[in-house]
Homo-oligomer: A and B are copies of this chain.
Amino acid sequence: MACEEMVFWAGGVLFSLTSIMFLLLKKNNESIASINLLVNCITIVSYAVMIFGLGTITAPNGELIYWTRWLFYAGSCSLLMYETGVLLKKSKTTISEMMVSNIIVMVTGFLASYTIGLSRIVFFSISSGAFIYVLYLINKKSGRKSLFKKTIKWYITLFWSMFPLIWLLSPAYSMVLNAYWTATFYLILDFITKVLYGLFTVKKS
């Protein structure tokens, strides 16, 4: 059993528990809790796919690249973009742009993880461009300022930006981190951006 498989099992169990938590939180804040419930459920499936190694390629140093992660993010992070757009009181046009741009980020992130050479650089560049555009849409002014909105903007900008940094260190690119540490860092980021963020939005909105 590859070492990272333990991390994926931990992720699967963790997100099963947090899904139950968000299910119970629907009593307090139905619309926001239900989005976070779905985000956490999609994440369970994503971790299960990685546990069983259903879609991987092997990096030159022999470590596995789990590229399926990015396809599930296309689903779960679209829901998070919708939620975030609603909480920041963005227009329907802007929310749609955030969601579609996020899907472009994740599909090209998958393509960058799945391919090598020039292709990988081109897809990572497109993905980064689309991601910067998402951050621009989130951070631009929309209606009255508030501490709540400011917190959301900083939270997303800071922690979502760490995903491409881990990617650059992972077996998918520079191979500084092995598959085990890559999986561990992504799990921590998943916890911060999907569980803690979800709890914050359920409680404070």
Contacts and interface: CB of A to CB of B under 8 A. Distances in A.
A14 to B, nearest CB: 15
Contact of A30 (B93, B118, B130): B93
Interface stretch (A103-111, A157-165, A168-176, A181-189): A103-111
Copies in the complex: 3
Interface in A129-176: 130
A45 B97 contact: no
Nearest to A120: B52
Number of contact residues on A: which range applies?
A: 20 to 34
Interface string A19-58: 0000000000011001001100110110011011010000
Contact of A126 (B45, B93, B103, B107): B45
A34 to B, nearest CB: 5
Contacts of A48: 108, 111, 119, 122-123, 126
Given A38-B100, A41-B130, A101-B41, A31 B93 contact: yes
A199 interface: no
A71 to B, nearest CB: 10
Contacts of A107: 45
Nearest to A114: B54
The 4 lowest CB-CB distance pairs between A and B, nearest first, are A52-B119, A31-B93, A38-B100, A34-B97
25 contacts: A30-B93, A34-B93, A34-B97, A38-B97, A38-B100, A38-B101, A41-B101, A41-B104, A41-B130, A42-B100, A44-B126, A45-B108, A45-B111, A45-B126, A48-B122, A48-B126, A51-B119, A51-B122, A52-B115, A52-B118, A52-B119, A52-B122, A54-B115, A54-B119, A79-B100
